[in-house]
Structure 1
Amino acid sequence: MNIEKEVSKPIFKATLLAISLFIMMPSVISPALPLMEKAFPNIPRVTVELLTTIPNFGEIFGLLINPFLVKKIGRKKVILIGLALVGICGTLPVIVNSFWLIFILRILLGFGIGIYNSLAVSLIMMIYENSKTELNRLLGFQNIMNDVGYIASAFIICYLVTLSWHAVFWVYILAIPVFFMFEHFIKVPKKTKHSSGKHFSLS
């Protein structure tokens, strides 16, 4: 396989950047909190408001076990698991009426983001380390994608919240197509040593 040709494809770069769309998305449901406070009158207001910040605790745990997971199952599988958790756990509150189950799902959403958060940058640095111009360009786009994900989802939620508080969680379904794109288009590089030095092989 021609590695240089593979990593230069626009679809490869777009998919690599797309995983960063969800990193800043946990807090975007805040417009739905007043509706959720009415839907769960027996839950203290401060606890309902935790739904926007509790994913951070999941992210911290995910970041802590990231090195272990990468060592055991590899970068690509870790990212795929993270995207699956974002897509599934983020969207399930659409049909869930239990506050505490939603609370747990929000933690799992954060955990999904946490286990691949650092890989969104390190993977770009690994793949394009021999092309400084392309590396700097993609790292710049990666930072932008964080904001694009937040801003785009915030606009979408402005409409979804007019439907119901359940509907705002549909925004996380966007992680599912990105999951399939990453699984299909991204071949994660592995470093292999040869007599002439270090080289990359795609797998």
Structure 2
Amino acid sequence: MSFISVFDVLGPNMIGPSSSHTAGAARIAYLAQKMIAGPIIKAEFILYGSFARTYRGHGTDRALLGGIMGFDTDDERIRDSFQIAEKRGIAFSFTPDAEETEVHPNTVDIRMENEAGQKLTVRGESLGGGKARICRINQVEVDFTGEYSAAIVIHQDRPGVVAHITSVLSRHGVNIAFMRLFREGKGDIAYTIVESDGRLPENVSDELRENGNVHEVMIVQP
């Protein structure tokens, strides 16, 4: 028998109406925007399953847009996220996709672009009770919930890179809770996700980038 806490029953502190369609959506976008540097100028949301069918009525669109601007699930600004995004000059769109069915019922792809022209696509799933999971970054399948502080290291799949990552974190006294590597294929682009019991030092990303096979480092704090 699986354990269900009272918080799973009551749901999170949130701007409603739905923990799955509103709070979970905001959580996905909130995590996604932490993975790209600087202000976002464009966000495209591709919605699947029940997200695609009910996103207007359940406020999924407002929640996603609020999350991409850094609003947490209980931030009252979510109600006015359309107007706030327009004032900030953020271009945004919502596109329901009824064709792809082999996905979690509450799934969204978020395509982001920042002021520097950097682009990133993140796929997230709303799991219920306000919980969310990032399941894809660009074209690589991953598994990341954002419940812990995390370093997401994008690198070539080469010998010694993982050892470099663990060595840097060890020097900073980081206690690793989980560490997983996801890759497109042998020798291709890989994503190493390291989740820590404590908050990660912000400057650890600079040392992680010192390895020539490391392309980018994202530090995501809860």
TM-score tier by shorter-chain length is: under 0.3
User: Which of the two has greater strand per residue?
Assistant: 2
Indicate the structure whose relative CO is greater, using CA pairs within 8 Å and at least 6 residues apart: 1
TM-score, normalised on structure 2?
0.25
Q: Using structure 1 for the length normalisation, give the TM-score.
A: 0.26
Max radius of gyration: which structure? 1
User: Could you say which structure has the higher helix fraction?
Assistant: 1
